[in-house]
């Protein structure tokens, strides 16, 4: 680990000012992802700005929806009665995403900002455009079994790591961002960027900005929601494919459908066309298969990860079947 300075922010504006004045500064809260990358020399901040003292730890639920402070702990959110009752997909994604020890430290904002698990990104002896822009992407011709089949480019094919982000995208979540010019709100579906030719830019955050919270609107679909994750081992493993689904069913007809995929794309992957194919239809296997086919229609497998196309379809079908039971 390289030497770095440490500052504890007094308030949000102090944190923003410190980061804006030093391009090498980075924010830290739970540190579950940051510290690993620093130990591996992948991230080398000039100073860490500790934001754990900011008043963003609240979990607020009401008739209009749910608001999660960026510093709320993953374990606290997963255990909150209002989240369990009204947004089960969030609880399931959190419980599937990490060990209890990590959930006790990890924050909601940090989870959304965690970096990819691509082995080349985490190995400083190899080329990675995300780590060193212009150096190349070793995964395209290398070990790419775990990589993306959706949303990749010639510069990067790394998958997005967060389970929680997939669930929140399916629920139309909005990210509240604090910066020098005040607060702004961005739909989570637009928060993470496709790699394109600038894979080092993963989000729409500008220098000095940080996540203050996440807002999730209440809906009948959110109450009937589910997260399904497929992985190589049963615990503390990242998704090969995952699906977050939410359905509002009335009189045997789907009135609202929300679908997002994880583990197969360079960002949480939402497909409105597949949702539209389900809306107004009965929750039947044939309709679910049509939606799954549409969701993966643009897949571009690499040499070793073609199996992810079929796996993602199967995962989505199982998730849809789970939420449609008793409809």
pLDDT at 305: 98
Nearest by Cα to 161 from 211, 110, 114? 114
**What distance in Å separates the CA atoms of residue 31 and residue 33, rounded to the nearest whole number?**
6
pLDDT at 20: 87
Angular region, 134: left φ>0, alpha ψ -120 to 50, beta rest: left
DSSP one-letter string for 213-235: EEEEE--HHHHSEEEEEE-SSSS
Nearest by Cα to 103 from 84, 76, 81, 80? 76
Give how far the C-alpha of residue 302 lies from the chain's centroid of Cα atoms, to the nearest Å.
Answer: 22
**What distance in Å separates the CA atoms of residue 210 and residue 214, rounded to the nearest whole number?**
12
Whole-prediction pTM? 0.95
Encode the chain (327 residues) as per-residue pLDDT tens digits.
889 999 999 999 999 999 988 989 999 999 999 999 999 999 999 999 999 999 999 999 999 999 999 999 999 999 999 999 999 999 999 999 988 899 999 999 999 999 998 999 999 999 999 999 999 999 999 999 999 999 999 999 999 999 999 999 999 999 999 999 899 999 999 999 999 999 999 999 998 999 999 999 999 999 999 999 999 988 778 999 999 999 999 999 999 999 999 999 999 999 899 999 999 999 999 999 999 999 999 999 999 999 999 999 999 999 999 999 855
- Order the strands of the 210-217 sheet from edge to edge: 59-62, 65-69, 210-217, 174-179, 182-187
**What distance in Å separates the CA atoms of residue 246 and residue 294, rounded to the nearest whole number?**
17
Yes or no: say if 39 and 1 are a contact pair by the CB < 8 Å rule: yes
Which domains are delineated in the chain?
A: 5-50 (3.30.43.10), 224-324 (3.30.390.50)
Yes or no: say if 188 and 176 are a contact pair by the CB < 8 Å rule: no
Burial 143-163 (b: 16+ CB within 10 A, else e): ebebbbbbbbbebbbbbbbbb
pLDDT at 325: 82
pLDDT at 326: 59
H helix runs in the chain, sequence order = 12-21, 34-39, 74-78, 81-86, 88-97, 100-105, 108-112, 163-170, 188-191, 220-223, 272-278, 285-295, 307-324
Yes or no: say if 169 and 275 are a contact pair by the CB < 8 Å rule: no
């Amino acid at each position: 680990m390289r030497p770095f300075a440490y500052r504890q922010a007094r308030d949000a504006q102090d944190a923003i000012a410190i980061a804006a004045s030093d391009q090498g500064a980075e924010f830290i809260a739970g540190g579950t992802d940051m510290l690993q990358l620093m130990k591996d020399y992948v991230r080398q901040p000039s100073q860490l700005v500790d934001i754990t003292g900011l008043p963003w730890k609240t979990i607020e639920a009401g008739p209009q929806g749910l608001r999660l402070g960026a510093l709320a702990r993953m374990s606290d959110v997963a255990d909150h009665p209002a989240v369990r009752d009204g947004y089960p997909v969030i609880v399931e994604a959190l419980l599937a995403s990490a060990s209890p020890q990590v959930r006790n430290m990890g924050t909601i904002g940090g989870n959304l900002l965690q970096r990819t698990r691509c082995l080349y990104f985490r190995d400083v002896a190899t080329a990675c455009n995300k780590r060193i822009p212009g150096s190349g992407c070793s995964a395209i011709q290398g070990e790419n079994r775990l990589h993306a089949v959706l949303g990749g480019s010639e510069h990067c094919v790394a998958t997005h790591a967060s389970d929680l982000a997939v669930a929140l995208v399916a629920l139309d979540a909005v990210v509240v961002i604090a910066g020098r010019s005040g607060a702004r709100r961005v739909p989570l579906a637009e928060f993470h960027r496709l790699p394109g030719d600038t894979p080092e830019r993963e989000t729409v955050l500008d220098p000095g900005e940080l996540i203050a919270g996440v807002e999730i609107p209440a809906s009948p679909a959110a109450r009937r929601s589910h997260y399904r994750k497929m992985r190589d081992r049963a615990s503390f493993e990242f998704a090969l494919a995952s699906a977050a689904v939410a359905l509002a069913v009335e009189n045997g007809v789907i009135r609202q459908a929300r679908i997002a995929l994880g583990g197969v794309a360079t960002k949480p992957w939402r497909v409105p066309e597949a949702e539209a194919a389900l809306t107004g239809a009965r929750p039947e296997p044939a309709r679910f298969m049509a939606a799954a086919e549409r969701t993966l229609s643009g897949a571009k497998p690499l040499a070793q990860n073609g199996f992810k196309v079929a796996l993602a379809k199967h995962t989505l079908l199982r998730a849809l079947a789970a939420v449609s039971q008793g409809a």
